[in-house]
């Protein structure tokens, strides 16, 4: 039986200690990846405030400091508890220093209106098991299956011409000994919105300062499909937008703002 991969965090009470697998892209060592911060926001908020009848419909994370790998704590506050709307704020501290904040809106599920509303057709991507993996996997911290035009071969989907499409799944736990939920799984991966939407064919030159995840339903299964809907940029500021899918169809959207940045 294979061993469980090393998680991104080990938990001791309310403190989450990053492992080296939590290191980010922008420095060789010593910086926490935004994906694990966003995932941790979802993990903590859902554990403290989640209810079966409520859908986590929106999660926004503001990423205003590039923290190191110091122990993490997350403080939360219930802003609004209504019959149909619940709003939570959270703040992430790295080594006692405020590094990111989030807001999460949970909406109570109810009766779907009968009147039809126009919606974009689901994407026509093949299921992930029918998509070959990249010839040179980008990382061992998650798995990607880029969906490429016939005949195009690239090392990873960041080198593919846009609009890009890929399947992505988590391959290691966010927190040791604590399984993913559908919400924490998609939230952990949603930072990929920026590189897939804002990356050039020569590499990534924008660092995102936020991410927003919208979900109209819980994703099913391990794989999340990303489909770039748009990228716009000027004067060193970029915005990117993706449609999100699971193996059953659309689940929501993601968007981000970003600043021009060179890797150090």
Domain architecture of the chain: domains with CATH:
9-109+132-260 (2.40.160.210)
pLDDT tens for the 264 residues of the chain, in order: 467 899 999 999 999 999 999 998 887 778 999 999 999 999 999 999 999 999 999 999 999 999 999 999 999 999 999 999 999 999 999 999 999 999 999 999 999 999 999 999 889 999 999 998 887 777 888 999 999 876 565 555 566 666 899 999 999 999 999 999 999 999 999 999 999 999 887 778 899 999 999 999 999 999 999 999 999 999 999 999 999 999 999 999 999 999 998 765
Going by C-alpha positions, the residue among 54, 37, 52, 65 that lies closest to residue 88 is 54
In this prediction the pTM is: 0.94
> Residues 18, 11: contact at Cβ < 8 Å?
no
């Amino acid at each position: 039986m294979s061993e469980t991969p090393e998680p991104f965090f080990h938990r001791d009470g309310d403190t989450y200690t990053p492992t080296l697998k939590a290191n980010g892209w922008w420095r060789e060592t010593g910086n926490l990846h935004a994906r694990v911060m966003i995932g941790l926001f979802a993990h903590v908020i859902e554990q403290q405030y989640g209810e079966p009848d409520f859908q986590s419909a929106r999660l926004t994370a503001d990423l205003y400091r590039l923290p190191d790998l110091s122990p993490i704590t997350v403080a939360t506050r219930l802003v609004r508890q209504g019959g149909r709307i619940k709003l939570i704020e959270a703040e992430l501290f790295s080594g006692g220093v405020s590094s990111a904040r989030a807001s999460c809106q949970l909406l109570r599920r109810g009766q779907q209106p009968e009147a039809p509303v126009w919606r974009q057709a689901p994407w026509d991507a093949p299921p992930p098991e029918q998509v070959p993996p990249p010839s040179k996997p980008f990382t061992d911290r998650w798995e990607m299956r880029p969906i490429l035009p016939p005949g195009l071969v690239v090392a990873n989907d960041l080198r593919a011409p846009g609009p890009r499409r890929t399947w992505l799944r988590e391959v290691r736990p966010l927190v040791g000994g604590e399984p993913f939920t559908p919400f924490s799984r998609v939230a952990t991966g949603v930072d990929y919105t920026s590189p897939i939407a804002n990356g050039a064919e020569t590499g990534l030159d924008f660092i995102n300062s936020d991410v927003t995840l919208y979900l109209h339903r819980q994703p099913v299964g391990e794989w999340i499909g990303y489909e770039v809907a748009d990228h716009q940029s000027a004067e060193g500021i970029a915005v990117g937008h993706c449609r999100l899918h699971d193996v059953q169809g659309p689940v929501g959207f993601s968007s981000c703002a970003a600043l021009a940045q060179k890797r150090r």
